[in-house]
Structure 1
Amino acid sequence: MGSFFPIAYLCSMSVLEKFGVEIFTQHNIFERIAVDKPFRTENPAFIFIKKGTIKMKQSFRDLELSANMFMVADPQTVYEMISVSEDYQSRMVSYKREFISALSLKFNRLITYRYFRQQMNIGVSLQADEMELVWKSVNFLMYILDSETEMAYKKEIVEHLFSVFCYQMAGIISKEDSNAMNRMSRQEEIVFIFLNELARYHLTERSVEFYAGRQSITTRHLSAVVKEVTGKSASQIIALIVMNEAKVFLNSSKKPVSEISAELGFSDPYSFSHFFKKHSGESPSQYRNQFEN
C-alpha cells in the first residue's frame, strides 16, 4: 500500500504525489505487508471490504472486518494484520490530506467529526447498495489512474472523480454523525480524549498522571474508566502504543537502535532495550532479526 508501507512507499510515490490519491486492491496490498508485522499509514485511507474477512490489531484492540464494511486508516495509528480469508476482496483509497483540503469539500469537516471518526477506526457497515455504488466509483477512479493512455486534463478528471467519491462518503457519514455525540457516554468521552492525547504526547509523556491531569480527573478515575471501557489499564495501553511505534521503527528502517531509542523519547538505549524486553520478552535486536531476510 503506498500509504501503508514505509519500505515500499517510494514505489507508489509518483502516483500519490502526482494525483493526490491512489487506489490499491487486495493483490498489491498484500505484496507489501506481512502477517504479524506492525505497520503505519503514511496517509489517511479508506479500506472497503467487498467479500471475505480480515482480522487486524489496531493499537490495543482487535478488529474484524467483513463483507460490506469499511474503515478509515489513520496515520496516527499502528496496525497489524492477523489473518485474511481466501475470498477477501477489497479496495483501499489512499489520499493526501492537502488534496482533500484543496477540493474545498464539506467532506473534510464530516470526515474529521470526532466521534464518528473514532467509530470508523473500528469499522462501519454499509448497505449492500451503498457498497455497490461506492465500489463502482472507486473502480472507475482506479481505471483512470492506472490508464497508460495519453489523456488531456487527467489530473482534473481525477480530482472530479475523487470529489464524487468524497461526496458519496459524506452522504453516508452524515446519516450517522447527527446524533453521534449524544450517544457518547461520559466514560466513552474520557477514553476517547485519553486516546487522542496519547496519540499526541506518547513520545514525551508516558505517565497515567499526565493524561489524568489533562482532563482534570484523578489517576485512579482515569485508570478505572479506561479499564472498564477497553478491558486494559491506562498504563497497559500506553505501553502498547509505545511498543507498536518501536516495532514499526525496527521492522521498517535500518536506523540503529540508539537512534530509534532517541526518536521514541527514551533517555538512553539501555532504557529502551529494558522497556522493549519487559513488554515483548525479547530485545530490540532480536525482534529486528526476524525481518532481516
Structure 2
Amino acid sequence: MSNQLQICQLSFSSEFAFANSIRWPHIGYFEFFIAKNTSKIFLKNKEIGLLVDLLKLINSKVRSSNKNILKKETLLLSFNLFLYELAGTYYRSSWYDNVKHTGNEKIVIHFFRLVELHCRKEHSVKFYANILNVTAGHLTKTVKQVTEITAKQCIENAIILEAKILLQNNDLTILYISEELKFANTSFFSTFFKKHTYLSPSEYRLRLNSN
C-alpha cells in the first residue's frame, strides 16, 4: 500500500444533515442526499485538497474546548460548508445527469419544493399531501423512508430556520415574527421555538446580538 494513501471519513445520518442545516437548503442539496444510487467520482487534486482541509477544520472544531461559547455555531458552519462543497463536486462531475430517482424520491423532492415555498404560512402535513394527491399518512411514511425523518419534522425544521432568519433582524418584533409564521400568538411561537432550540426567541436574539 502506498505511503501516500490518506483516508478521511465523516459519518452522519441524513436526519442530522437536514436538522442541522444553517438554512432551508436549495433543492439540489436535498436531491444529492436522498439519492440512493450516489456513485463514485474521480476528484481533481484541488478538490481533494479542499475537502480534506474542510474535514480537518471540522475535526479541529470537534476537538476545541467546550469553553468556547461559539463552538456549536462554528462547528455547524464548518459542517454545512463541507456538505455544500461535496454536493457541488458531485454536480460538477455530471453525476446529476445519470441520476434516476425512485417514485418515492420524486414525491419527497416535490414535497421539499413545496415546503420551501409555503412553510411560513402552512404548517400541516395535510396541506402538502393534498397538493401531492396522497394521504397525509402516505406522505409521512414516504418522507420517513427516504430521509429518516417525518414530514412533520421537515416542516418544523424549515419553520425554525425561517424564524432564525427573521430573528436576525432586530427591527422585527417577536409579535410580528409570530404572525408572519402564522402562529396564533407569541406564546405558541415561543413554546414551539424553545422546544426546538432550547432558547426562547428573545434569548436567541440576545445571544445573536452578544456575539
Question: Smaller-chain TM-score range?
Answer: 0.5 to 0.7
- In the alignment, residue 25 of structure 2 is paired with which amino acid? T
Please point out which of 175, 183, 189 is paired with 1:258: 175
Partner in structure 1 of residue 31 of structure 2:
118
Partner in structure 1 of residue 56 of structure 2:
none
Partner in structure 1 of residue 43 of structure 2:
128
Structure number with the higher helix fraction is: 2
Partner in structure 2 of residue 9 of structure 1:
none
Q: CA deviation at 1:121?
A: 9.9
Identity between Structure 1 and Structure 2 (%): 28
8 Å contact 1:277–1:283 — kept in the other structure?
A: yes
8 Å contact 1:55–1:62 — kept in the other structure?
A: no
Q: Does 1:206 align with 2:123?
A: yes
Q: Does 1:176 align with 2:100?
A: no
Distance (whole Å) between structure 1 residues aligned to residue 31 and residue 22 of structure 2: 10
Q: Residue 205 of structure 1: SS of its match in structure 2?
A: coil
Distance (whole Å) between structure 2 residues aligned to residue 290 and residue 281 of structure 1: 12
Partner in structure 1 of residue 17 of structure 2:
62
Q: CA deviation at 1:230?
A: 1.3
1:199-233: CA deviation from partner (whole Å, max 9, x where unpaired): 11101111010111111111111111111111111
1:24-52: CA deviation from partner (whole Å, max 9, x where unpaired): xxxxxxxxxxxxxxxxxxxxxxxxxxxx8
1:160-197: CA deviation from partner (whole Å, max 9, x where unpaired): xxxxxxxxx9xx647323331x2x11111111111111
TM-score w.r.t. the length of structure 2 is: 0.59
Please point out which of 25, 35, 42 is paired with 1:77: 25
8 Å contact 1:257–1:284 — kept in the other structure?
A: yes
Q: Which structure would you say has the larger RCO, counting Cα contacts within 8 Å and 6 or more residues apart?
A: 2
Aligned ranges 1:210-289 → 2 under 5 Å: 210-250=127-167, 252-254=168-170, 255-289=172-206
Q: CA deviation at 1:244?
A: 1.6
8 Å contact 1:116–1:176 — kept in the other structure?
A: no
Runs of 4+ in 1 over 4 A off after TM superposition: 52-58, 73-76, 114-117, 120-126
Aligned ranges 1:127-146 → 2 under 5 Å: 127-129=42-44, 131=46
1:79-123: CA deviation from partner (whole Å, max 9, x where unpaired): xxxxxxxxxxxxxxxxxxxxxxxxxxxxxxxxxxx7687218999
Distance (whole Å) between structure 1 residues aligned to residue 43 and residue 201 of structure 2: 45
Gaps of 5+ in 1: 1-51, 64-72, 79-113, 136-168
8 Å contact 1:222–1:234 — kept in the other structure?
A: yes
TM-score w.r.t. the length of structure 1 is: 0.44
The number of aligned residues is 162
Gaps of 5+ in 2: 1-7, 51-87
